[in-house]
Amino acid sequence: MGRETWGTRIGFILAAVGSAVGLGNIWRFPFQVGQEGGAAFMVMYLAFVLLIGFPAMLAEFVVGRKTGLNAVGAIREFAGGVWQYLGGLFVLIGFVILSYYSVIGGWVLRYVVGSATGGYVGDAAQGEPPVAAQFFAEIASGWDALLFHAIFMLLVVGIVAFGIQRGIEIGVKVMVPAIFVIFGVLSVYAFSLPGAGEAYAYYLSPNFEYIVANWQSLVPAAAGQGFFTLSLGMGVMITYASYLGSDENLAIDGTSIVVLNTSVSVLTGLIVFPILFTAGLDPETSGPGALFISVADALGSLPFGRVVGTLFFATVAIAALSSAISLIEVVVSYAIDEFGMDRARATVIVGAGIFLLGVPVTVDTVFVDLYDMLAAQILLVLGGILLMVAITWLHADEAVEELREGIGDLGAVGTLWIWMVRIPVVAVLIVSLYLGVTGYL
Q: How far is residue 223's CA from residue 228's CA, in Å, rounded to a whole number? A: 8
Binding residue for ligand PFF, selected from 189, 228, 243, 367, defined by CB under 6 A: 228
Name the residue nearer to ligand PFF (CB basis): 200 or 313. 313
Phi and psi at residue 234, to the nearest 5°: -140, 20
Q: What's the min distance (Å) between Cβ of 300 and ligand PFF?
A: 25
97 binds, among ligand PFF, Na ion, none (CB under 5 to 8 A by kind): ligand PFF
432 binds, among ligand PFF, Na ion, none (CB under 5 to 8 A by kind): none
User: 5 to 64, contacts with Na ion by CB under 5 A?
Assistant: 20, 24-25
The residue count of the chain comes to 441
Binding residue for ligand PFF, selected from 13, 16, 20, 361, defined by CB under 6 A: 20
Taking CA atoms, 62 is separated from 396, 397, 404, in Å, by: 11, 11, 10
Q: How far is residue 104's CA from residue 91's CA, in Å, rounded to a whole number? A: 20
Q: Is the dihedral of CA 228, 152, 259, 290 positive or negative?
A: negative
Name the residue nearer to Na ion (CB basis): 17 or 196. 17
Q: What's the min distance (Å) between Cβ of 195 and ligand PFF?
A: 26
Q: Does 55 bind ligand PFF (CB under 6 A)?
A: no
Q: Does 225 bind Na ion (CB under 5 A)?
A: no
Taking CA atoms, 43 is separated from 33, 48, 204, 218, 380, in Å, by: 10, 9, 9, 10, 21
Q: What's the min distance (Å) between Cβ of 19 and ligand PFF?
A: 5
Q: Does 32 bind ligand PFF (CB under 6 A)?
A: no
Size of interface with ligand PFF, in residues (CB under 6 A): 15
Q: Which amino acid is at 203?
A: Y
Size of interface with Na ion, in residues (CB under 5 A): 5
The helix-helix angle for 381-392 and 208-229 (nearest 10°) equals 80
HSE-up (13 A, CA, CB side) for residue 342: 3
Q: What's the min distance (Å) between Cβ of 228 and ligand PFF?
A: 5
131 binds, among ligand PFF, Na ion, none (CB under 5 to 8 A by kind): none
Q: How far is residue 356's CA from residue 347's CA, in Å, rounded to a whole number? A: 14
* Sequence-separated (6 or more) residues with CB below 8 Å from residue 35: 221, 284, 287
DSSP secondary-structure letter at 407? Answer: T
Name the residue nearer to ligand PFF (CB basis): 35 or 278. 35
x/- letters, 312..351, toward ligand PFF (CB under 6 A):
-----------x--xx------------------------
Site stretch for Na ion (CB under 5 A), options 129-137, 195-203, 229-237, 379-387:
229-237
Q: How far is residue 374's CA from residue 97's CA, in Å, rounded to a whole number? A: 9
Q: Does 22 bind ligand PFF (CB under 6 A)?
A: yes
HSE-up (13 A, CA, CB side) for residue 297: 26
Name the residue nearer to Na ion (CB basis): 139 or 327. 327
x/- letters, 365..404, toward ligand PFF (CB under 6 A):
----------------------------------------
Q: Does 25 bind ligand PFF (CB under 6 A)?
A: yes
Name the residue nearer to ligand PFF (CB basis): 62 or 264. 264
Q: Cα–chain-centroid distance for residue 336? A: 25
Report the candidate in 190, 193, 167, 181 with the shortest Cα–Cα distance to residue 328.
Answer: 167
Helix ranges (DSSP H) in 68-164 = 71-79, 86-117, 132-139, 143-161
Contact 327, 97 (CB under 8 A): yes
The residues that touch ligand PFF, with contacts defined as CB under 6 A, are 19-20, 22-25, 97, 228-229, 231, 234, 236, 323, 326-327
The residues that touch Na ion, with contacts defined as CB under 5 A, are 20, 24-25, 229, 261
